[in-house]
Every structure is written in C-alpha cells, then in structure tokens.
C-alpha cells in the first residue's frame, strides 16, 4: 500500500517518538538476551538513547529503500530494527514489504498483529484499508497457534515473523513451511512441515540438538458457540466468551470467529442449530465438529441461592454423531461469572470427550427412509455415521410404510447394524357399493309419448291463441257494412286468445323437455349397513 513521502516521514517521526518515549530494554519486548557478560553487567548499562537512534535510523533507511523499490534491502533493514526493538510499527513496515513482494498472506498476518497491538500509528483510512485486505484472504489460509519458548525470535521460510508468544495465531497458506527459532544467540531450524488447507492448528516448536528444531503440528477442532447471555453486561459477556475460548483452546478446540459464524449461517434457517441435517451441512462447509450452547438465567430468589446468583446451563453437541455428548448445570455469582464459566467449560469438555464412540450402520428395504436417533433426524438410508456408545432408540420412516422402531446398543469401537424391512401401510377395507338402476325402456317410451302429446297440443293451442288474438276487435258483420256505416258485431277474443297462447307455449316447452332431456343413468352409491 504505497504512501506519499509526507506520510512516510510522519510515520518515521511517530516511530522515533514512540521508541524514544518507551526507552525499554530488549528483554521487555521479548528480544533475544545478550550473552556477553559485560553487556549484561550492571556496570555496563544499555544506552537506550543510542538504541532508539539506531532503530530510527534503520527505519528511515528502510522506508527510503522501500520507496526506491529495493525490497530485499528494505526487508533486511526493517528486520534488523525489529531485532533491536520489536515495536508494533515495524510489523506495519514488514507488512508493506511483504505486500510489495506479492506475499499477500504474510502481509495480512503482519497487518493483523499491527492493528491489534492497540497502538497503530497510521490514520483511520489506512487502517480500514488494511482491515479490508485482511478480510479478503481466501478460506484456504490457516490460523496456526505457535507454542514455543517465550522471547524467541520466530522466522518462517527465512522471513522474520515476530517474537514468541505471538499476539494472534499466525496466518499461513496451505503447503510446506520451514520454521526457525533464535534464542540467546542459538538458532534452531525445522524440516519443512505441511500446513493443511484452511484448518486451524497448533504448532509446538522445541529446540533439539545440533541446531535442529522439533515441530509438532496438532490439528484443532472447530466449534460453533451459541450463548444466551440474559441480563449480563457487556463486560461480563466478554469475560464469558474469553473463558469459553480459553477452556476450548486447552482441549485443542477453536471457537469459530463471530464474522465467520455469521457468514456460515447466512444462508441457513433460524432453526439450523437445532436441526441435525443442517448441522451436517455446516460440518461439511466449515469442518466444524462441536456445538457449544450456554444459557445464563437468574437463579430462583430463595435460599441457598444468594441474591444475584445465576444458573448456567451448558451442553456440548457432537456434530459427528448428531447427539448431545454432555450437559451440565451449575449456579454462579454474577461477579465471578468469568471464572465459573471457565471451570464449567472444562468439565463440559471432560465429560464429553471421555464418552466412547462406536459406528452406526443402517439400511432399509425400500431405501431412502428417514432415520431418527433419539428423536433427532440423522438422514436417509443407507446411513453410516459415528455415534456415542450406549443404548439408542432408532426410528426409520417412509411414506406409505409402517414406521420401524428399535432400541440398539452400540459398543465402544464397534459397529452396530440394522437392516429394516419396511411393511406397506395396511389399506382400509373396501366400501360395499350398490347400483341404482337408470331409466327403463318403458319409462322412456312413456316419456316420449307424453312429451309428444304435450308438444302437439301445445302447438295447436298456440296456433288457436294467435288466431284469436288476430281476430280481436275485427268487424263480424256479414255482409260487411259500407265504409262510413258503423259495425254492429265486433270480435272480443283478446282474453281467450291470450289464455290459449300461454297454455300452448307452456305445453309445447314441457313436451319438448320431456322428450329430449336425457333420462336417469345408472349410478353407484354406498350400500347401507345391514340391520343388526
């Protein structure tokens, strides 16, 4: 991340001020101790002012050399300054060199420890850019906790990395790495040791004979943490989380970082941590092995519980088996919640890790049946997975088949098998039916005859009614009178004509319907139960 000359000068000036103000010895920073007796004698005190000047000169030369893009020389100058006084500002400069060399993981590791030192000398925009660079690291990068002699200088792949103990786990890419420790003028180097892809681990470094370094790699388990804090304050919450993390780390288990925890659960349902298939997906995605649950609730306000006491409930879910491996509940005081949580977490791990394991192998005919263990869905048949030893209730279910239930005893280190033959669900007895016959031939002929008769009479009456209506008001004199003479006989057939017309239309429609509407068809109906 290139800086302007003014920013570089300000950074160097701040470093000089910090180093001069500190005025601390090398031992205070964990630097290698001087083996020369004269140098260590009270009669030959260390000239802190001269040391600070030397460090400031090396840093200034390193900044200038880095600006000139002489990366190897800049790295050498900053490492010399770091050996004299391992100040946090030098982590930033070493990170800049690694970044310019294309060593993104190494640069991110330096930047992370620099930002978390508590005394960053860069401005906030620069710090935010460094945080962004750290967050963009691929998931294949591993966090490795280094354990070794305190005060020893650690180098990885020939690059000075820091002074043990490191403030944070070291960020390392997957693949072989070589480690070197320098302590009291003695240097020990290991053979290449391969770091796995994206797995948290612990690396124990011990100086051997003939300048050899013994490196032992322990792969840590990952655990999810779910805590119901209740009414705890922010400071108490922090104590609880630190206590759980410390106890878990002692059992070679790392708690998944909060940001990675949220990222892992972002695409899952809110009930994921209570659903075994969902937990199985998390195990495959992030290789988590354990789920720790803690709940802090106020204790009942009655003796012998003191005022302000808490009930702490903890359980450890073994994600490999999908079962609860341990469950503890204890009382604790609010003031001592951190220590109480530390002890409870240790006992929780001891209770869980001492439980022996076995293997469960389940098949069914037909396959693809759902398997539940102690009420928790494990998956579908055929299924094989590690489980806790002991007696377990197994349920196998499939739509259209009767549920299969069995109690199975799993011995430590052994495989317990079940081959379930699922029986089809019994069908209900058939319902007795009876047939209601349709229209008979005689009924159909009668319907046609009556319909035809009604249609014929209706048409006749319709014609007569229409004729009567047409004659209504006409002159009936014979011979017809002259045009100017009055008519003595007028037809009054409106009422009769209307009645005939209406009746005729009704009979015609009724007869047509009776003739042309289909008759009743035969149909099935449930038979009435026989009288008792």
Per-residue pLDDT, averaged over 260-277, amounts to 83
Question: What's the gap between Cα 227 and its chain centre?
Answer: 16
Tell me the residue ranges of DSSP E strands in 140-200. Answer: 142-147, 153-156, 159-163, 170-172, 175-177, 179-183, 186-189, 193-195
Q: What is the pLDDT of residues 472-504, one digit of tens each?
A: 877 776 777 777 777 777 778 888 888 888 898
358 touches 369 (CB < 8 A): no
Distance CA 198, CA 220 (A): 11
522 touches 435 (CB < 8 A): yes
176 contacts: CB under 8 Å, gap ≥ 6: 192, 193, 194, 195
Cis previous bond, 207, omega within 30 = no
Q: What is the pLDDT of residue 436?
A: 80
What backbone phi and psi angles, to 5 degrees, belong to 237?
-60, -40
The three-state secondary structure class of 408 is: strand
Per-residue pLDDT, averaged over 345-374, amounts to 89
Tokens of 87: 């100040």
Per-residue pLDDT, averaged over 356-374, amounts to 89
Q: What is the pLDDT of residue 381?
A: 92
The pTM for the full model equals: 0.50
466 touches 497 (CB < 8 A): yes
The three-state secondary structure class of 261 is: helix
Cis previous bond, 444, omega within 30 = no
pLDDT at position 369 over 70: yes
DSSP 488: S
DSSP 272: G
Strand partners, 224: 291
Pairing relationship of beta strands 415-421 and 357-365 according to DSSP bridges: parallel
Residue reference for tokens 């005859």: 449
CATH of domain 359-421: 2.60.40.1120
User: Who wins on pLDDT, 275 or 60?
Assistant: 60
Q: What is the pLDDT of residues 374-407, one digit of tens each?
A: 777 888 899 888 888 888 899 999 999 999 999 8
The three-state secondary structure class of 479 is: coil
177 contacts: CB under 8 Å, gap ≥ 6: 156, 157, 192, 193, 194, 195
pLDDT band at 28 (very low <50, low <70, confident <90, very high): very low
- Which residue stretches of 251-336 are H helix? 258-265, 276-286
Q: What is the pLDDT of residues 437-472, one digit of tens each?
A: 877 888 888 888 888 888 888 889 888 888 888 888
pLDDT at position 20 over 50: no
320 contacts: CB under 8 Å, gap ≥ 6: 283, 289, 385, 386
- CATH architecture for residues 222-355: 3-Layer(aba) Sandwich (3.40)
- Which residue stretches of 275-395 are H helix? 276-286, 337-353
Distance CA 94, CA 77 (A): 10
95 touches 171 (CB < 8 A): no
Distance CA 520, CA 435 (A): 13
Distance CA 49, CA 21 (A): 10
What does pLDDT average to over the chain?
82
Distance CA 121, CA 143 (A): 26
Q: What is the pLDDT of residues 342-354, one digit of tens each?
A: 999 999 999 888 8
Sorted by where each begins, the domain ranges of the chain are 1-137, 222-355, 359-421, 442-471+490-520
Per-residue pLDDT, averaged over 303-331, amounts to 81
398 contacts: CB under 8 Å, gap ≥ 6: 364, 366, 368, 369, 370, 422
93 touches 59 (CB < 8 A): yes
* 251 torsion bin: left (phi>0), alpha (psi -120 to 50), beta (else): alpha
Q: What is the pLDDT of residues 144-167, one digit of tens each?
A: 889 888 899 999 999 999 999 998
User: Who wins on pLDDT, 480 or 203?
Assistant: 203
CATH topology of domain 1-137: 1.25.40
- Lowest-confidence pick of 237-241, 308-312, 415-419, 488-492: 488-492
- CA-nearest of 503, 505, 504, 518 to 448 is 518
Distance CA 471, CA 453 (A): 27
Distance CA 172, CA 198 (A): 9
Per-residue pLDDT, averaged over 347-369, amounts to 89
- Lowest-confidence pick of 17-31, 256-270, 275-289, 398-412: 17-31
Distance CA 316, CA 225 (A): 10
Q: What is the pLDDT of residue 110?
A: 95
Tokens of 456: 């014929």
139 touches 155 (CB < 8 A): no
Distance CA 318, CA 291 (A): 7
Per-residue pLDDT, averaged over 209-227, amounts to 86
Strand partners, 193: 177
């Amino acid at each position: 991340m290139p800086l302007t000359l003014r920013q570089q000068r300000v950074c160097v000036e701040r470093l000089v001020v910090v180093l001069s103000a500190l005025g601390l010895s090398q031992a205070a920073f964990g630097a290698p101790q001087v083996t020369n007796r004269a140098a260590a004698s009270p009669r030959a005190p260390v000239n802190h002012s001269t040391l600070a000047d030397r460090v400031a000169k090396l840093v200034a030369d390193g900044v200038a050399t880095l600006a000139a893009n002489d990366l190897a020389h800049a790295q050498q100058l900053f490492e010399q300054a770091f050996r004299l006084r391992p100040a946090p500002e030098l982590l930033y400069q070493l990170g800049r060199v690694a970044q310019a060399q294309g060593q993104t993981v190494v640069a991110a590791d330096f930047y992370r420890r620099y930002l978390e030192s508590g005394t960053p000398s860069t401005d906030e925009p620069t710090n935010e850019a460094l945080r962004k660079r750290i967050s963009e690291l691929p998931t294949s990068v591993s966090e490795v906790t280094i354990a070794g002699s305190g005060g020893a200088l650690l180098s990885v792949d020939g690059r000075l990395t820091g002074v043990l103990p490191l403030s944070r786990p070291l960020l390392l890419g997957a693949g072989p790495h070589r480690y070197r420790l320098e302590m009291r003028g003695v240097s020990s180097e290991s053979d290449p040791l391969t770091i796995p892809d994206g797995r948290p681990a612990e690396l124990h470094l011990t100086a051997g004979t003939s300048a050899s370094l013994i490196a032992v790699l322990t792969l840590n388990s990952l655990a999810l943490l779910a805590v119901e804090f209740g009414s705890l304050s922010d400071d108490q919450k922090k104590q609880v989380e630190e206590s759980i993390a410390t106890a878990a780390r002692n059992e070679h288990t790392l708690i998944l970082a909060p940001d990675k925890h949220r990222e892992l659960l972002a695409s899952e349902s809110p009930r994921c941590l209570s659903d075994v298939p969902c937990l199985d997906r998390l195990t495959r995605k992030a290789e988590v092995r354990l789920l720790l649950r803690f709940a802090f609730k106020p204790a009942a306000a009655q003796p012998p519980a003191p005022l302000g006491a808490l009930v702490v409930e903890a359980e450890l879910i073994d994600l490999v088996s999908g079962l609860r491996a341990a469950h503890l509940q204890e009382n604790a005081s609010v003031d001592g919640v951190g220590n109480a949580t530390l002890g409870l977490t240790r006992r929780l791990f001891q209770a869980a890790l001492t439980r022996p394991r076995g293997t469960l192998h389940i098949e069914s005919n037909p396959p693809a049946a759902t398997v539940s263990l102690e009420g928790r869905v494990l998956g579908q048949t055929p299924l094989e997975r590690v489980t806790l030893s002991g007696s377990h209730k197994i349920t196998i279910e499939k739509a259209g088949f009767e549920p299969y239930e069995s109690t199975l005893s799993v011995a430590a280190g052994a495989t317990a098998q079940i081959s379930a033959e699922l029986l089809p669900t019994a069908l209900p007895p058939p319902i007795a039916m009876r047939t209601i016959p349709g229209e008979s031939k005689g009924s159909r002929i009668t319907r046609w005859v009556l319909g035809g008769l009604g249609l014929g009479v209706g048409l006749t009456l319709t014609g007569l009614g229409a004729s009567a209506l047409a004659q209504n008001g006409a002159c009936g004199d014979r011979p017809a009178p002259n045009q100017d003479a009055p008519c003595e006989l007028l037809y009054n057939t409106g009422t009769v004509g209307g009645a005939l017309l209406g009746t005729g239309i009704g009979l015609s429609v009724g007869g047509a319907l009776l003739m042309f509407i289909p008759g009743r068809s035969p149909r099935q109906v449930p038979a009435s139960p026989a009288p008792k």
